[in-house]
Structure 1
């Protein structure tokens, strides 16, 4: 007798009881072999942290022919079972959905969101088989899924990878439709603005602006149409969130409604749109070789995250301006803020840019209070390096857009993953001296010559000093008193023996309650006059009251401002215009 024909895995997700915050899962499958192994992913592509999604899994059972079969756990999120026959099996379990981020799951009475890496099991031997998805929803809810519909109901993914790459948003939401170069796009929002709307501004204007940003991304990559055949935007408007996660044919954004109401809020959201939309080329299809294919069970060292995220973080600030949606002065404000944050991060002198990407799994996504002292974000330093590379290339009549387009045509279009040597060759092909300069910037701790590059476009960075004496700490007031939130390495605060979490009680005999109390006592003249002897400081740590002497230093730089040079010549101004507009020389 022949064995039953294998059927593709079919997932049925029950979200019909949102108040339980539980997603019921049924996985139906006809096995190929008498031993079945399966696993839940430990992370989701685009967010480089082992999240151990198995923490939210409960009630796992496997049934065949009406009987429950014993499962043997062979890893923290892996199981296997010996099957008495090759008859169809059904795996049942539940997923707790209480964490609202773009990479986890959330279900309540207002909506549901699923990052499917946290939900779907990978059956051994079925990774490249089609997978189908069905949803059971509360009345009046609808689903927004960036997959083609399956003729038998639900949706169909061509492989497990495509299924994992599918964010699922459900709820009684309104769907807004528009197109980009003839490609259908959808926009769905959960949550409301402070004025009670589901979009940041009236639909025609907002969707038109998003379309312009999308077209600017296409122009940057030198293509006429988006890479995806259809595209879905999902926006979660909440109190204070910020972030996004890219997918092949969609993105999920999170943005705070209070931030949106600020003067720069709408521009910042458009930059986030640009960042995630551009990822359908840079990261999703033009992908680091280490991510081809994905290993969902463990961390993979990726030395080129500076390109994947840093380049994207740099151009996302220029793309709304390229689309005609903000002024050059606003772009310079945003670039200046990033340059200032970079120059004020001590960790850039400790961790190289390549190390930042290689250590993402254990450092950037697990940052603590000391992180600014010993690490630098590959998003931030990568964006600063991208700025330097762009202006360097413009000196020889090229530009960053040329490199992106050539890499896309040579590698991205054919789905070939890149290694760092591919990137070095692409940059050196435009400017041969980058063959030596770029590795030095990636491996070393020295900054690129930012002042010289900015001078090319009639700009300069000007320091702004703080008003009080410098001690190198950041304070937080609350129910626990006035505590140290951050202590800068080698600062007067660290030299006084202070550490994060200490509660400050009194300075120079005066009781402390608020950060302003400290500021008044650290005015430069008075503080520096007693610095040699030290200022008595009373503090508490682990229930014990301690004393130390604080020796403040002269006021330090608190920010760097990016300023236009009033005497810049016409050639510099023209270079600046073309640079900010992403136009080539």
Structure 2
């Protein structure tokens, strides 16, 4: 049984000292560090944080054994005997995200995919975990405790699926359908925004959302036998990463202080909690089993993340933790972001899923022109599918429950064809429509479906003419942070990084200066722009377009009927039609 010992006492140096003890079964040993962590589809090359790798063996006089590097993150070792070995190395833990490692004098967080070496032939063996912590710190680990001390993982997959939070934190316990849950948070909050301590309803509402997830999946209790929530509060972070027995959330303290902050955090918690079914156990076949050394094309990430992103907006209402008006506002904000994304016309939803490894997690100033998030467009498609199914007397929760029964509960990975078949059983016309929506670059007929539940989209036009360029504040002059493909700025030959110095001879110092000169009340006309690129001052003629949409909102139809209102409530609370 490999034993992983982690020393976190060098917290002020951000260093994790790792020691793996193991009795080899064969003379040739290969071991490797994962290149990515499930749930975050990007090759992260965790090995770049590793230093000082050494292997010693009992009976070899304490000398370091020679290693042969096979790849940047894998090694081979030739042994003359099968005496126990000790692998030691150090990791820099200085990046605070839900998928990396962070250690300082206040806390430590470890994503074990970035820490633990996989020893060839031991993937399905039990692994033991030991921690050495600074004084007064305690560990929060979602694994079974070892009677002899430490924790036990059933296999390497469970080990690297284990996030570790350590520090002098308070732990709050609650239960969901009799299943023990823990809530642990780190990071200062703004005054009056303390969760649990100053909000006596927080854990109760979190429990209600968790129970709503169970009802959505048609089960009586969570899939996990016990569960750990870890929250990192930062200045402006946002995100989460799902695990079988836990989740790690990152949220901005300023965002939490806003009126909608608590609801947004509940939605994030609902999203990651639902993943213990959809993604973790109801898993794409391409991720069964995981391949930690390489990217794997997964065409159905639109279902794994898009469906979850859609229902996370509705689950707090289902749990009785927010109002119908608030949910409509949130759905409208999502639809607005989608309709304002030009890349949705270029990249299909299936392509967005397949290209996640090289596009979504590597955005640049030009990304908005050519790509769309499978989270966002997947959520829009989920909304359309739910309303389409309701026309046929069914709904999206029914599909989730059936897929859980046929695939997730029995550990059978699904493929895109399985998903299409599941939808088609309840609405036969989806056999043609769904593949078209997945492969095409057009929008599903949103307005048509929203009308069923008495809702409509309202557009808001900009207060200025459209320049086709996002101007950011610069040092003395606004700077082009993004340029729309085929927009006015692009037609004028402008690009990202250009400094806009003057428009029609008038000095520009802020983005607002430029917008004030092209107000919506006058007709667009050619303008002379003085700009700087690569240290050289140049000129261009830019002709703005008429004002373009800057936002969309979801509003109640004033002519909507009582029947529409009843259908809308059943839809928003995830009830069958």
TM-score w.r.t. the length of structure 2 is 0.98
Instruction: Identify the residue that residue 191 of structure 1 maps to in structure 2.
Output: 187
Counterpart for residue 516 of structure 2: 520
**Partner of residue 482 from structure 1, selected from 478, 485, 496:** 478
Cα deviation digits, residues 342-381 of structure 1 (max 9, x gap): 1111111100000000000000010111111000000000
Q: Does 1:56 align with 2:49?
A: yes
Counterpart in the other structure of 1:41: 34
Contact 2:476–2:509 (Cα < 8 Å) also in 1 = no
Give, in angstroms, the shift of residue 198 of structure 1. Answer: 4.9
For residue 402 of structure 1, what is the aligned residue in structure 2?
A: 398
Change (3 A) 1:140 1:198: farther
Given candidates 443, 447, 454, the residue that maps to 2:450 is 454
Q: CA deviation at 1:478?
A: 3.3
The 5 Å alignment of 1:26-425 reads: 26-65=19-58, 66-195=62-191, 198-199=194-195, 202=198, 204-425=200-421
**Partner residue in 2 for 1:4:** none
Structure 1 outlier segments of 4+, above 4 Å: none
Match of 1:551 in 2: 543
Residue-by-residue CA offset, 1:83-108 (whole Å, 9 max, x unaligned): 11110000000000000000000000
The answer on whether the counterparts of 2:192 and 2:198 sit within 8 Å (CA) in structure 1 is no
Q: TM-score, normalised by structure 1?
A: 0.97
Whole-Å separation in 1 of the counterparts to 2:249 and 2:300: 24
* 2:527–2:543 contact (8 Å) kept in structure 1: yes
Retained in 2: the 8 A contact 1:200–1:266?
no
Worse overlay, 197-206 or 423-432: 197-206
Partners of 2:358 and 2:242 in 1: CA distance: 21
Aligned length: 574
Q: Distance in 2 between matches of 1:266 and 1:443?
A: 36
Match for residue 553 of structure 2 among 561, 569, 576: 561
Q: 1:574 aligns with which of 554, 566, 574?
A: 566
RMSD: 1.0
Rounded Cα–Cα distance in structure 1 between residues aligned with 2:250 and 2:118 = 28
Q: 1:433: how far off?
A: 0.6
**Residue in 2 aligned with 1:3?**
none
Structure 1 gap ranges (5+) = 1-7
Q: Which residue of 2 aligns with 1:537?
A: 529
Residue matched to 1:20 = 13
**1:510 has 2:506 as partner:** yes
Q: Distance in 2 between the 1:130 and 1:180 partners?
A: 28
Structure 2's unaligned 5+ residue stretches are none
Deviation at residue 557 of structure 1 after TM alignment: 1.1
Distance 1:45 1:521 in 2: 49
Q: CA deviation at 1:481?
A: 3.4
Q: 1:421 deviation in Å?
A: 0.8
- Whether the 8 Å CA contact 2:193–2:256 is kept in 1: the answer is no
TM-fit CA distance, 1:479: 3.0
| CA displacement, residues 123-155 of structure 1 (integer Å, 9 cap, x when unaligned) | 000000000100000000000000001122100
